[in-house]
Each structure stands twice: as C-alpha cells, then as structure tokens.
Amino acid sequence: MTTFKNFIGGKWVPSKTGKTFPNRNPADQREIIGEFPASDARDVHQAVAAAKEAFDGWRRTPAPKRGELILKVGDILTRRKEEIAKAMTREMGKVLKETRGDVQEGIDTAVVHGSEGRRLHGFSAPSELPHKVGWTVRAPIGVAGLITPWNFPLAIPTWKSFPALVAGNTIVLKPASDTPHSSHLLVEAFEEAGVPSGVVNLVHGSGSVAGNAIVEHPDVRIISFTGSTAVGRQISATAGKALKRVSLELGGKNAQIVMDDADLELAVDGVLWGAFGTTGQRCTATSRLILHKPIHDEFVRRLIGRAATLKIGSGLDPGTDVGPLINPSRVEAVDDYVEIGKKEGELILGGEPLRDGKLKHGCFYAPTVFDGVAPTARIAREEIFGPVLSILTVKDLDEAVRCLNDTAYGLSSSIYTRDVNNAFTAMQELETGIVYVNAPTIGAECHYPFGGTKDTGNGHREGGTHPVYDVFTEWKTIYVDYSGRLQKAQIDNRKSE
C-alpha cells in the first residue's frame, strides 16, 4: 500500500496530523489506490508560508520563462498520458477514452498558457494630454488557493494552476479527496519540470478542514473554486469578508432542445453522450431533454432503443460505455432523486443501482430516463449529477427556450435544428454561458471561455485567455508624463470652459 504525501516548499512531506484517508476505486471499492494525508490548518499554513516566500522570486521571473515551465509540464503529461489516464480511471471511474481526453485537455491547456507567457497583453491608449503616455500591464496578485472537484481530476487543476502560475502567482492546490492521485501525478510533473521550491504546493484533505483553512488564510489573496453551488456560496461569504478575489465555477442543470426539423439520429447521439457520458457527472451534463411535440414519440423510441444497449462496467474494460458513480454516497443521492422522480414523471428506463456479478463491489447505477416531466418537477430543476435524464415536451421554440431558461443555473445548453431561424433565435435567447447548436451540452475546448450565468458562478470564466487572466491578475495602469510640467487631466484641455 502506497502512502502519499503533501508537496510543500519543494518537498514531499506527511501531514502534521499523522492521519491519512484511503482513496478507493469506485468500480471496485475493495481496491485501495493509496492512503493520502488528512491535512489540517497546520499543513495549509505551512504551504501558504512556502508559497508566500516563493512569490517574489516567481513574480520577478520573466513571464515567457514562467510559460516555458508550463510547456515542459505539458511535455511530461504527453509522455505520461496513458499512465495518468489509467490511474485516473482507477480513482475516478470514467472510461479510459474519457480519462485520455481529460489528460489531453491538460496538455492543450499547457500549450495555451505556456505560450501566453509571451503575450499576457495589456493595452495602450493615447493620453488626452500632450507629452504623456499611458498603458496597462497585468500584475500577479500573490498566493492563489485552488480548490477542485473530482469529476475532471487532471483537467480542472490545470485550468487553474497553469494561468495562475504564468501570471506570476504561487499556488496551494487542494484537490477533492475522491481523486487525490491525479493531482499527485500533476505535481510530480511540475517537480520533474523543475518548478522552484514553494511555487507549487499540494495539500490533500477534506474540504471542511483543509479547504476551509485555505479560504480563511489571510495570505491567500485569490480563491479559485470549482464545485457545488452550496459550497461555492459558503466560500464566497467567507472570502468576501476578507475582500479576496473569488472565482466560482459551480453547478448546472443543462438541457438539450430537439426541434421537429432536426437530424434525429444526430440528436440521439448527442443526448446519449451528454446525459450518460462520465455517468452524468459533468457540470455540463444533459439532465433535461426538451422535445418538440411532433417528434416526441419517435425520438423517445430511438433514444430508449440505444440507451438500453449501453454497457455498464469498469472504465478500464474496453467494452464499457458507462463507468461507476464516484462513491457509495453518490449512489444513494442519485437513487433518492430517482424515488422523487417516480412520483413526478414516468420511469421509462433504468431507475436502480446495479449490483450483480462484476458490478457487485462498485458504485454502479443504471442509465435512467423519465418521460412526462413537468418544468416544475424537482428532477427538472435540481442538479442530480448522475445518469438521470428528464424528458419535457413543448409545443414550439418559444416554449422550449422558456423551459430551458427556467432554472437557477446557466451553464450549458444545446439545440438540434436544421432551421437557421430557430438556431439564431436560440443563440440569442438562451441564458447560458455556453450554447451549442447541433452538438451536445458537453465538449468545451480549453481556449474558449468556460463558465455560466446565474447560480453557476459569480461572473468569472475559466479557459480562454483574457477571462481567466482577469481572475489571476490585477490591472496596473502606468502613466508617464514627459512634458516637464504639471499637467492636469480633465482640466488643462478644458481651459476655454
């Protein structure tokens, strides 16, 4: 049994608590991947102190050089892609082709931000006064606390750490306790790439203890958090009191609309991937299907025909389409929603945990579909985060758009249509941060902004370049007056008034 450690000040160290927690394989709970440190505030304080000490050296390192480190990490991830993907499937459960995609997203993110070290653009604009110039630069902020969920165990830590570091901040990363191994492997890549001591720190442990200590620490000036809306609210309240920068990427209740003019087979492909890919455990997962009435019966027939053939099993088996849920308590939570759904709609597929044969020791749940769900139903409004799809039926596009927008969340949406007017109406009217036309609600690319409206966040975006650097930098505006006299803005060039 391997006992893993925290990474603080350039060294692998055990937690001061002396305690560890097991990381289990969700496809077979008997298998323990390793023991990880159950850190507390003392470990966090040590990590923040190391990050604070390293900050001056790192912020003075030219940004292109900081970018080169990230490019090297990307090369190491490329070399170790298969090994990391397999380790990720073991601890997180999603099928191997998806964990390969997760690592690839980290590699792509390294390319974007590694090269951003040579740009990090500010802007210049002409001054209103003669012999005076002004321009802006992006300045680093300090120690960034990065708190990440378990569903994209490598990609999300790279979305946060790479831009934070290229911008010149130092970091303390706390990954979800269901997937600590993937972050361990990422930090190994940083170490191999030669990251200076204290620039990257990794602290394992629970959210309520280690995570909360990061949020409360006065020397952590930025919190970048991805996780549930409930925890995001709590973090925002705590960090808000200390006037910290907080970037929140939270829950979703995403929907796919299918109009009667759509390519139905393509739309079935889309909803199968959107609803049951990653076992429905994506913030962008399709959990509502909004069907135009004329195609309802035909579409449901085709969808159920295909969904019933999905193979459930270990993500390491090449034939598996859908892996397990992350842990036993998620099986219970999904099952509780299915019980609620049975009173709110008609169960037409699945609806139970799977515990037979090879699935006996895992956290498996059958792909589940409810038809006849009203927009007011809880299963149509609350994030379930499992392989559960609710079908709602509408009479026209206006009703479809109203129905899609009628939720507290605003992450991702999709419409399948071959009518250009329908497509452009949807692009304009859907209130989500991401809109797909003739593609499922999942499938973001790392060089576009990623995030949502309403309860999905607090207005920040990850991904892209400008949006995420607005999280990790302060704008500094510089004026140089080379006139040799006192010039007064707003006053000197209005002397005639």
Binding site for ligand NAD (CB under 6 A): 147-151, 174-177, 206-208, 211-212, 215, 226-228, 231, 234-235, 249-252, 283, 383, 385, 411, 456
Query: In which order are the strands placed within the sheet that holds 11-13?
Result: 11-13, 6-8, 200-202, 170-174, 143-147, 220-226, 245-249
User: Closest residue to ligand NAD, Cβ-based?
Assistant: 207
CB 154 within 8 A of CB 88: yes
Question: Which ranges in 93-128 belong to alpha helices (H)?
Answer: 96-116
Shortest CB 152 distance to ligand NAD, Å: 6
Please identify, using beta-carbon distances, which residue of 54 and 434 lies nearer to ligand NAD.
434
Of 129 and 389, the one with the shorter C-beta distance to ligand NAD is 389
- The DSSP element (H or E) to which 206 belongs, if any, is none
Cross-strand partners of 474: 139
In the bound state with ligand NAD, the residue whose beta carbon lies nearer, of 179 and 393, is: 179
Note if 283 is an active site residue: yes
CB of 174 to ligand NAD, least distance (A): 6
Nearer to ligand NAD, 181 or 292 (CB): 181
Q: Is 249 a catalytic residue?
A: yes
Nearer to ligand NAD by Cβ, of 222 and 231: the residue is: 231
The dihedrals phi and psi of 347, each to the nearest 5 degrees, come to: -75, 115
Of 232, 229, 200, give the one whose Cα is nearest residue 215: 232
Residue 69's CB is within 10 A of a number of other CB atoms, namely 24
The count of other CB atoms within 10 Å of the CB of residue 344 is: 18
DSSP states of 374-437: -TTSHHHHS---SSEEEEEEESSHHHHHHHHH-SSEESEEEEE-S-HHHHHHHHHH--SSEEEE
For 139-166, give the DSSP string.
EE-SEEEEE--SSSTTHHHHHHHHHHHH
Q: CB nearer to ligand NAD: give 41 or 295.
A: 41
CB of 231 to ligand NAD, least distance (A): 4
* Catalytic residue, candidates 68, 105, 283, 363: 283
Question: E strands within 265-337?
Answer: 286-292
Q: How far is the CB of 252 from ligand NAD (least distance, A)?
A: 5
CB atoms within 10 A of CB 112: 22
Least distance between ligand NAD and beta carbon 244 (Å): 13
Cβ atoms of 449 and 429 within 8 Å: the answer is no
Closest separation between CB of residue 135 and ligand NAD, Å? 33
Residue 205's CB: how many other CB atoms inside 10 A?
29
Give CA–CA dist 86/276, Å, rounded.
20
What is the rounded CA–CA span in Å between residue 90 and residue 181? 10
Measured from the CB atom, is 206 or 487 closer to ligand NAD?
206
**Minimum CB–partner distance for residue 148 and ligand NAD (Å):** 6
From the list 249, 344, 383, 462, the catalytic residue is 249
334, 301 in Cβ contact below 8 A?
Answer: no
Q: Which residues are catalytic?
A: 249, 283
